[in-house]
Chains A and B, each alone.
Chain A
């Protein structure tokens, strides 16, 4: 089964410091990987994706993610955190169902808290 794991329920970082939110994946074949952000009582917003090509993917709001095939990881990063980055972050993978359809499958989410 194709899945992603987010090992941290919560990440705390001081404003201005770099941040990393971790994600590992389990996929047969080439993975399609995604990051989303969710603010309270809102839907998820797409941040970035990796399908093929450069292992460092840049996305919205200054976020980037590094695809590492040997470590099966796709960690989300930002060089300098802002208080407004505080939110719930989801890693996702495109998973193939038995019926032949692909669906987005999400990790449990990591709460990012940026302290002033």
Chain B
């Protein structure tokens, strides 16, 4: 069966520090991968998606970047965090037929 791992679960970082959140998927090949941010426990904002290794599409301009160094690994990064980067970050994957998505447990990021 397929599983998705996202870590860490919580993170407190000072303003100006770097960020690296990692997400890995097991039990499937060539998944579509996504990073979402959820503010205030409500709507999901798509940040990045990837349909293959090294292929990253960004949906909104921001202080963040994403990389996909391996087929089932998706990394969200920042060189210098801003207060406004605080939020709940969710990684997800879907199959090539683009039907349902499966989510990681999320990372609560607080920038102080």
Interface positions of A (Cβ within 8 A of B): 32, 34, 36, 40-46, 49, 51, 88, 90, 92, 94, 97, 99, 101-109
CB A76 to nearest CB in B, in angstroms, measures 15
- Does B43 sit within 8 A of A, measured CB to CB? yes
Question: CB < 8 Å: which of A41, A90, A99 contacts B44?
Answer: A90
**B16-50: contact bitstring with A at CB < 8 Å (1 yes, 0 no)?**
00000000000000001010000001111010010
Q: Can you give 29 A-B contacts (C-beta < 8 A)?
A: A32-B98, A34-B99, A34-B100, A34-B101, A41-B108, A42-B105, A43-B6, A43-B103, A43-B104, A43-B105, A45-B103, A46-B102, A49-B100, A90-B44, A92-B101, A94-B99, A101-B32, A101-B49, A101-B51, A101-B98, A103-B34, A103-B46, A103-B49, A104-B92, A104-B94, A106-B43, A107-B43, A108-B42, A108-B43
State the 6 A-B residue pairs at the shortest beta-carbon distance, nearest first. A43-B103, A102-B98, A108-B43, A44-B103, A106-B44, A46-B100
Contact between chains at A109 and B43 (CB < 8 Å): yes
A74 to B87, CA, bound (A): 29
Interface positions of B (Cβ within 8 A of A): 6, 32, 34, 41-44, 46, 49, 51, 57, 88, 90, 92, 94, 98-106, 108
Contact between chains at A49 and B105 (CB < 8 Å): no
Say whether, besides A44-B103, A49-B99, A94-B99, A101 and B43 are in contact (CB < 8 Å): no
